[in-house]
Amino acid sequence: MGSLIYKNFKSQTSLSEEKYEKLKIFFKLIKLWQKKFNLVSKNSFKTIWERHFLDSYQIIGLIGNKKNVLDIGSGAGFPAIVCAICSNNNFHLIESNKKKCIFLNEVKEVVGIKNISIFNSRIETIKIDNDYDCILARAVAPLDKLMNYIVKFYKKNMSCIFLKGKTINKEIEDAKKRFSFDLKFKKSITSDEGRILIVKNLKKK
């Protein structure tokens, strides 16, 4: 199961044994469903506990506690599934790919995750009635496109947390052409090139 990599993940986190067991079940489901269709890339699967699990886990402290969170482009469940298992926040996952939604629902049922809801929809077309404290996105789209997707949902005091890579400086330049926003950076613990963006006060120009 890649036990050495899992041990490295465990050494950098602080969770109950029950939560670690749920994460391991999640991993086993990914491994099983990966044979049916591509949930994560083959290269990233080799280091999945660092590249996906730890990368997701690191943002929990930025979300806070007992928050209502919207996760767009949920894919295989990173970061939302990991964050849901490891925290007391409520997560609403938006995923346009039907097969991935079937997988996410399987994870929800088998692992026993009660603090998530899954919606098979595109973010451009979904109607959202809930008030969210936070919006998450990981490996979904360039920053200006992300902001275009979510600006209609943005409300005062909301935080947007985006996990981004080495193109972030160019993405910020492009986003500033159409949007105004306050921005903070946090360095990723899983990649020298990775950055976590915390965006607030998002408005269209």
Q: What pLDDT does 44 receive?
A: 78
Neighbours of 107 (CB within 10 A): 24
Q: What pLDDT does 119 receive?
A: 95
Q: How far is CA 145 from CA 137, 149, 204, in A?
A: 11, 6, 12
Q: What pLDDT does 3 receive?
A: 54
Amino acid residing at 148:
N
Q: What pLDDT does 46 receive?
A: 83
Q: What pLDDT does 127 receive?
A: 82
- State the total domains in the chain: 1
Taking phi over 0 as left and psi of -120 to 50 as alpha, with beta for the rest, 73 belongs to left
Residues near 46 by beta carbon (within 8 Å), at least 6 away in sequence: 2
**pLDDT averaged per 10 residues in sequence order, the chain, 205 residues:** 74 95 96 88 86 95 95 96 97 96 97 97 84 92 93 91 92 96 93 92 95
Let me know: does 127 contact 166? Beta carbons within 8 Å: no
Q: What pLDDT does 42 receive?
A: 81
Q: Which two tokens stand for residue 27?
A: 């991993």
At residue 127, what are phi and psi to the nearest 5 degrees? -100, 125
What CA–CA distance (Å, rounded) separates 199 from 112? 32
- Residue 112 domain boundaries: 3-204
What CA–CA distance (Å, rounded) separates 64 from 45? 28
CATH classification of the domain holding 131 = 3.40.50.150
Q: What pLDDT does 41 receive?
A: 84
